[in-house]
Structure 1
């Protein structure tokens, strides 16, 4: 018998489902009795914002930290605590609650709860539900650092991994008790990223992906330099999409104000020479190299060590001698055993001509082309993919959507 209103459409306010990465996903959120239970309220809100439908099951201890009414108001769904809840017609909420869920996420998951899962104990609604589930289980540990480091907990963590249960975190930092160490629950926005990644097909599993992103900055003197309008958003979106697709991702980034995507290793550089060194030292060990950064073609030949004063510049005009920067993409593509190289061509005009010429001249399997006015600095983009079979326009969408399409094209090429 189906549970009435089981994962019914949420009555909580939500945005349009257009582009929401968890649209249509049904998540059963388990909340256990830890101080981090307060973060589960924000997690509920953010999961719904990403398009998911969320239903909450709590332990009795969890209700001492956050009232069920909070989660009901946020999710627009009934909240369950009692294994004998009369709202379930057959008195089997431990069966009914998980049957239509795509995943069970327990956040926070206390040390006691992890032990229950390992031992197969079922002494309350949430532990019984987890034992009876027929969908994947994700757990986000939250506990004192001593509890996390305890050999018993570490044995349980190892067993959970052996049982194919995904462990999200924990993080390191200051804890509610005042101590510092591992045991903090991941922040809600990080957990949402992990849930999105969980549902993403792992088409790049086992692959090493190296990317560049953002502008470079070529110093003229200690306070001035040559740079460009690249925001870095396209490169960061690609790093995020590649990681969600299962790759180990290293992002070599010029100066941006963007946060590093979850699970991505970022190397911060400033100049084209720094970026060249960081890339060439890692390229040979990579399966894919995506050159998204807007790298300066030239740099000042002799940057000044002191700020240039107007009186020293020679009147109304100033002459600046430039020297050419190395071509990072060409150098990687010319390696004896190069990774699968993807170039980007941002042009002001004649896009098809210049992008195809770049692909042929640098011997690249794929070039992503766009007009500067379509992508620089914004959240959306309009691109054309150029490969040996011709030009392939992609629909105008968010940079995250474009990134997913590019990653899918790369994965198909590698598989083929």
Structure 2
């Protein structure tokens, strides 16, 4: 099956909002084994939207349209879809009750008349309840059996609706089952990772491997087409085993929902270790990443943002002579930062980062992107020099990944 994505909204075209819905839906379609060849964004214009839908129906089996289901005059998606399909809009009594209940739950008694527009649905369509808003989703069918799926624009409404109502529907249309595992690799670049599995990719049939590059990571999606989940799992398992053999400890998880910080916090917890953080160029980004994990307070007690040399001396005990002789961006300073953070916090482990994120501040000897990451673990310090590329935000994001991975490797080496 081939699906096409249409995002509706002038605000997307103008760049006022970032279209995260298309990214989310593309990932989900890939997981379902549904091909996606086109993604289109169209403004709130009736004729252009109609032409876009007609074109999509000519070349795709499923058309997924997001946005334009609200109560205002410029929300035209249902109206245009009905016109393209040659159908009427009719009121859905159940949806009207859902809208009434939504407002009642928020103690809104004066419901404006335009809100009832959202209870209108394309004649003969399947209505998908919206438990997080007032616009229901719809699944409509053209005369030749092609499907149009209408979804609300707000991500907090679209995501749960797609998970609960649309994914089961799409699976019911498929004759095959698609089973996927995500192998997440850290510390190896995309080109090297692809080279390491070039022979597998060249010979692949079923299952297949698709590499995705992330900041400091490479994700390898292994997907098998089968008649049952069990059969798919059996096809994927040998491939994942081979990837483990080749990438070894650079693989930190094979679970889609698990992130690097989850793995690090679990390692700290399982080994009964506490950690402190000392950040210069990342300025709290590392702390922000690790506190994404629920329960991190059991292993993380303190973090230090020591951007200036004075702060490095005051809070971490970095020696003035070290800063004078080697500079703030040096292996020697990173080592002293790591030791000082662990001592100040009384922790078993620490991570320290110092570097030049740019765009200014670099020299020939110490260019933008030069970063030192140090890990202290129970008396031993390991330091890593990085030469990162990209803009300021990318360098900082990559530094966080390398810092977390260094801590992960240090714990694994001592376990």
Q: Normalized against structure 2, the TM-score is what?
A: 0.35
Q: Normalized against structure 1, the TM-score is what?
A: 0.35
Larger relative helix fraction: 2
